[in-house]
Structure 1
């Protein structure tokens, strides 16, 4: 298993910029090889400054985003579906500025927006059309889309690795794959040994997130089983540590009301230590 270890910068806020240079330097010193940056309309000037800082640290970058309620690929309103495509194209432009090769997230629908009914074939087709158009746009930039299946509290269209893999196959483009997030898998899948193979050849990106969104190894995620299955599948890609904290403003769609860690610095240090320990045991 040839992997690289990154950190999701959302632990330090949803709009990271060059002011986070001390954090980036700390992560580099801890041994991280890259970061995942949320793109949300920061502006090209701010993103260009951030890229200079990342290049100076020899950090590679992946990006993430989430669709707002008014830009929903599965909306019955054609204007909202078009807004979703426009939103994704704008985030891809920002990803290109940062030098990202992967844009990830629940790109198939707006997070936390529900109809109160199970997903329909029409919603599936609307989402597929939007994602295919976005992927065609992304291909011209050398960027892939990683679709994060999400738990039933965040989304209703795609809740499992098998669902996400099916959407990738229906889109039918080589730059669309599955994002496997251990947090969502913990809630929706039977176990990693069954869920990860369901992603199959579409597995593109992995986020390591604890069952309580806090410090890795202090929750209920099956870490040994997850890594063993990734090794069996010969996964080659990013392992991005994801933890979330209480925001300073309004609550994010994840509804994080408490910090499940002692400090952000300690969390990132302990996370990379845990990952390296498990990888070392596997290689013995």
Structure 2
């Protein structure tokens, strides 16, 4: 298992000002970071990659589809072309960063709804765009990790059954799924069964508590989930995702307006210890 942390807990754009916190993350024993790629250019991420290399931190990225005007699912060919160009930009930044995976809900604009579930044409357009992206990613030594979101954030990928079916539709080994415990807690009735449905396609596991705070302080059954993860043979990124109220741009997207952890030191330290302890306990139970 590689222990990661999504840096959206700090910022939506990582700069030199965030390096002290990233050094603290390294000191707490994290193996890598998940870098938000929501703006900027490849040159900036190449610089950031050099900083992470110096700290011996591995990295992945997380991105979104920013607007209905750049939607890879659209029936309008011009909008669809802008959506594909945005996906290519996200991949270009990840390549410059030296990332292992491009993740996140890079399938449909967050908060945009049509009043129905995904249509066959949207699924077909998305599968075409993601197959092409996976081809480029694989050629550059990366893979894609599509994240399912709950129904209040998107209509495209909500359940793990949808994720499994979509991964089969895309049909490329570099297209994987980012399993997120927060979203599955809303959309799937049984997280162990949900994980088992999508397990062959998982590229990253997001550990996110039901309130988006410190894992282990809420009601999500992480011992059972990580037990399922270990039984599946998965041994990749297990990444903390938590959000605070100090970042207005992120708070608006996540609907988090109150503090969910007392300070960053507590978040980093307690989360790392809890995830490693729970992972190790699941391994002992598997070996028994």
**TM > 0.5 fold call:** yes
Q: Distance between the aligned counterparts of 2:247 and 2:161, measured in 1?
A: 36
1:74 lines up with 2:73 in the alignment: yes
Runs (5+) with no aligned partner, structure 2: none
Alignment partner of 2:193: what SS?
helix
Secondary structure of the residue aligned to 2:237 is: strand
Counterpart for residue 253 of structure 2: 253
Shift of residue 280, structure 1, vs aligned partner: 2.8
> Is 1:147 the counterpart of 2:146 in the alignment?
yes
Distance across 2 between alignment mates of 1:191 and 1:263: 32
Displacement of 1:281: 2.2
SS in 1 for 2:161: helix
Match of 2:272 in 1: 272
Structural RMSD (CA): 1.4
Structure 1 residue corresponding to 2:16, chosen from 15, 18, 34: 18
Equivalent position to 1:29, from 6, 27, 30: 27
1:169-180 to structure 2, matched below 5 A, reads 169-180=168-179
Correspondence list, 1:98-113, <5 A: 98-113=97-112
| Conservation of the 8 A alpha-carbon contact between 1:215 and 1:260 | yes
TM-score under structure 1 length normalisation: 0.95
Equivalent position of 2:226 in the other structure: 227
2:59 aligned with 1:95, yes or no?
A: no
Q: 1:58 aligns with which of 51, 56, 59?
A: 56
CA distance in 2, matches of 1:283, 1:170: 33
Deviations 1:38-80 (A, max 9, x none): 1123223322221111001110000110011121122232222
Give the drift of 1:247: 4.5
Gaps of 5+ in 1: none
What is the match of residue 119 of structure 1? 118
Distance 1:141 1:252, change over 3 A: farther
Shift of residue 129, structure 1, vs aligned partner: 1.4
Report deviation, 1:130. 1.5
* Change beyond 3 A, Cα 1:154–1:26: same
Q: Secondary structure at the match of 2:216?
A: coil
Q: How many residues align?
A: 282
**Kept in 2: contact 1:18–1:46 (CA 8 A):** no
- In structure 2, do the counterparts of structure 1 residues 123 and 283 end up closer, same or farther at CA, with 3 Å as the change threshold? closer
C-alpha deviation, 1:149, in angstroms: 1.0
Q: Distance in 2 between matches of 1:189 and 1:118?
A: 16
Q: Give me the whole-angstrom Cα distance separating, in 1, the residues matched to 2:270 and 2:34.
A: 18
Q: What's 2:165 paired with?
A: 166
8 Å CA contact 2:42–2:92 kept in 1: the answer is no
Determine the C-alpha separation between the residues in 2 that align with 1:71 and 1:110.
8
Corresponding position of 2:263: 263
Higher helix share: 2
Distance, in Å, in 1 between the alignment partners of 2:230 and 2:135 is 31
The separation in 2 between residues aligned to 1:170 and 1:13, in whole angstroms, is 34
Which segment is superposed worse, 44-53 or 154-163? 44-53
Alpha-carbon deviations, 1:210-252, whole Å to 9, x = none?
1111111111211111111111111111001000122544443
1:188 paired residue number: 187
Structure 1 distance, partners of 2:221, 2:71, is: 33
